[in-house]
A and B are shown apart, each in its own frame.
Chain A
Amino acid sequence: MVPVHPVPDTPPAEAATLEGRTVLDARDISRALTRISHEILERNKGTEGLVLLGIPTRGVHLARRIAERISRVEGVDVPLGTLDITMYRDDLRQHPTRGPHRTEMPPGGVDGKVVVLVDDVLFSGRTVRAALDAMNDLGRPATVRLAVLVDRGHRELPIRADHVGKNLPSARSERVMVRVEEFDGHDEVSIASTTEEA
């Protein structure tokens, strides 16, 4: 069977043009991911029952890198999957319809597992809320944890991250942009002020 490929993602044009101040460069990101990988292992006391789920788009790439690091340290390939949250967003009605991304469960599923959700930025917490709902329809993990590269604050829901690459105090009007090599061509976290209210 020939898979039908989803429409390829393209980085938003604004991300390429909007100037910002670099907060993390490629090496900072690499170090942060290495630390997060170790934290995950420490917290879980190894790789037993561990499943990594990346939230598209950039969370998927970050999850893969964390899995690679864990594999290097422990010699074990942790099950890796992706969890799309498009259909579960609470603002679905407020935007033109967007096509969903891939949801790919690892072969063993998530039932009874320790799932670590991986995303690039934690902001309002609404993405994570949607991810928890999406997970609910796919199985019942023993534990769900959250790893993010950047926590920029301004939570609107009672949600917190277990593993954070960098806490980045920001104004609500500022834009935090995470770029990853696999998708944007290079690794960078930057912050830019916008005139419009975000």
Chain B
Amino acid sequence: MHKHLLSIDDLDVRDVEALFATAAEMHDVQNRSVKKLPALRGRTVVNLFFEDSTRTRSSFEIAGKWLSADVINVSAKGSSVSKGESLRDTVLTVAAMGVDGLVIRHGASGAAQQVSQWTDAVVVNAGDGMHEHPTQALLDAYTLQRRIGPLEDKHVVIVGDLTHSRVFRSNVLLLDKLGAHVTAVAPPTLMPAGVTAWSKDAGFSTSHDLDEVLPEADAVMMLRVQRERMSGGYFPSAREYTVGYGLTRERLALLRPDAPICHPGPMNRGLEIAADAADAAQSAVLDQVSAGVAIRMSVLYHLLAGEGSDQ
């Protein structure tokens, strides 16, 4: 495994298998009365979040704490960042305190990669702009695998904003690595220019017709519609999006009852996903949240517990 986790491309299939196997053990820890393992005792992890986040940040925080690391949260709001400090200075300042791991979320694509060049600490990408969100993809694939078994030759339908979604990008890379077939469904306006070449390269197919692909899906992932996109003219109205690409009650009937429904959260109920789908027995949304802690424990453990993770 690489020193950092910046992109799904940092992992080969064996790494992913090892991360999943460890996550499965970590999952059991969540059901214990003493939710604590000593593996990262004496390690310090800083969650450096330049964008709003509740679940990813708290998930990393719980993961670090359950492994006995000291976890500190730094968010852009209310920090020296709001006083105009540059990313580099913030990172160097935090690193100078003797931090072992940096979990970073930033609005600029490539921020995590850039940060990893400024510090000796282990860097975990918790979402960088429109680039990647590797731990989200790992927890999605892990959740699916626990529900429907090995993902080889499984058909996963991903619906949403392909142009701007880092979750999509990481998921496509990972699902391809694991041998799954991905069909990406989006309105033409939310498909990036050059999607044909990209899909060929990354091994996924595209469609504009959700009703057509849903019956053949082994699993479906709904991506969040970012409300700020609506003012960007990508689609005429929320209602229009729901009619064409939302997982509505009517569409739910097209989906096989054993096909899990994933959503990275936070959900816009009634927009990209109807309450009937979000709360259905086949919804894996809450599984994803608990898997998120297990996956992040696994990632922090593999990157920070052993030899070579010392500064």
Do chains A and B stick together as partners? Answer: yes
Select from chain B the residue with minimum beta-carbon distance to A104. Answer: B28
User: How distant is A90 from chain B, measured CB to nearest CB, in Å?
Assistant: 10
Most chain A beta carbons < 10 A, residue from B18, B28, B305? B305
User: What is the interface size of chain A, counting residues whose CB is below 8 A from a CB of the partner?
Assistant: 25
Considering the chains assembled together, what is the distance between the CA atoms of A92 and B147 in angstroms?
Answer: 32
Chain A nearest CB, measured from B226 CB (Å): 31
Contacts of A45 in B (CB 8 A): none
Interface of chain A residues 89 through 135 with chain B (CB within 8 A): 92-103, 133
A99/B305 in contact, CB under 8 A: no
Closest A residue to B142 by CB, please name it. Answer: A4
Cβ-defined partner of A99 (8 Å) among B22, B37, B147: B22
Is A196 part of the binding interface, using a Cβ–Cβ cutoff of 8 Å? no
- Flag whether B301 is at the interface (Cβ < 8 A): yes
In the assembled complex, the CB of B46 is this many whole angstroms from the nearest CB of chain A, namely 20
| B25–A6 CB distance below 8 A | yes
Question: CB of B98 within 8 A of chain A?
Answer: no
CA distance A98 to B308 in the complex (A): 13
For residue B153, CB closer than 8 A to chain A, the reply is no
For residue B73, CB closer than 8 A to chain A, the reply is no
A137 vs B307: C-alpha distance in the bound complex, in angstroms? 25
| B302: chain A residues within 8 A (beta carbon) | 97, 99
Complex Cα spacing A101 to B25, Å: 8
Does A3 count as interface, using CB distance less than 8 angstroms? yes
CA distance A73 to B303 in the complex (A): 48
Cα-based distance from A137 to B68 in the complex (angstroms):
13
Contact A92 B39 (CB under 8 A): yes
B34 near A100 (CB under 8 angstroms)? no
B137-175 interface with A by 8 A CB criterion: 142, 145-149
Q: Enumerate chain A residues within 8 angstroms of B308, measured Cβ to Cβ.
A: 96
Q: Please give the distance in Å from A127's CB to the nearest CB on chain B.
A: 15
Within the complex, what minimum Cβ distance (angstroms) separates A28 from chain B? 34
Where chain A touches its partner, the secondary structure class is loop
Task: List, in ascending order, chain A residues with CB within 8 A of B39's CB.
Answer: 87, 92
Answer whether residue B96 sits at the interface, using C-beta atoms and an 8 A cutoff.
Answer: no
Q: In the bound complex, how far is the Cα of B227 from the Cα of A17, in angstroms?
A: 62
Instruction: Decide: B306 and A84 in contact? CB cutoff 8 A.
Output: no
Please, which residues of chain B bring their CB within 8 A of the CB of A93?
305-307, 310
Is residue B36 within 8 Å, beta carbon to beta carbon, of the partner chain? yes
B192 within 8 A of A: no
- In the complex the two chains form, what is the Cα distance from A5 to B306 in whole Å? 23
CA distance A118 to B8 in the complex (A): 40
- Return chain A residues, CB-CB under 8 Å to B307: 93-97
Q: Which residues of A contact B149 (CB under 8 A)?
A: 2
Contact mask A135-150 → B, CB, 8 Å, 1/0?
Answer: 0011000000000000
B306 in contact with A92 (CB, 8 Å): yes
A1 at the B interface (CB under 8 A): yes
- In the assembled complex, how far is the CB of residue B5 from the closest CB belonging to chain A, in whole angstroms? 13
Q: Interface 1/0s, chain B 293-311, versus A by CB < 8 A?
A: 0000000011101111110
Interface centre among B25, B146, B307 (most CB of A within 10 A): B25
Q: Which residue of A lies closest to B308 (CB)?
A: A96
A3 touching B24, Cβ below 8 Å:
yes
Are A138 and B25 in contact, with the CB atoms below 8 A? no
Q: How far is the CB of B240 from chain A (nearest CB, A)?
A: 37
**Which chain B residue shows the least CB distance to A91?**
B307
B36: contacting residue among A99, A103, A137, CB under 8 A? A137
Given contacts A4-B142, A94-B307, A97-B306, contact A88 B38 (CB under 8 A): yes
Indicate which residue in A6, A7, A84, A97 contacts B305 across the interface (CB closer than 8 Å): A97
Residues of A within 8 A of B18 (CB): 7, 99
A/B interface sample: 7 pairs, CB < 8 A: A6-B24, A7-B17, A87-B301, A92-B305, A93-B305, A96-B306, A99-B302
B residues near A (Cβ < 8 Å) are: 1, 14, 17-18, 20-25, 28, 32, 34, 36-39, 142, 145-149, 301-303, 305-310
Give me 19 other A-B pairs in contact (C-beta within 8 A), A87-B38, A97-B302 excluded: A2-B149, A3-B24, A5-B21, A6-B24, A6-B25, A7-B17, A7-B21, A87-B37, A87-B39, A87-B301, A88-B38, A92-B39, A96-B308, A99-B18, A100-B25, A101-B25, A102-B25, A103-B28, A137-B32
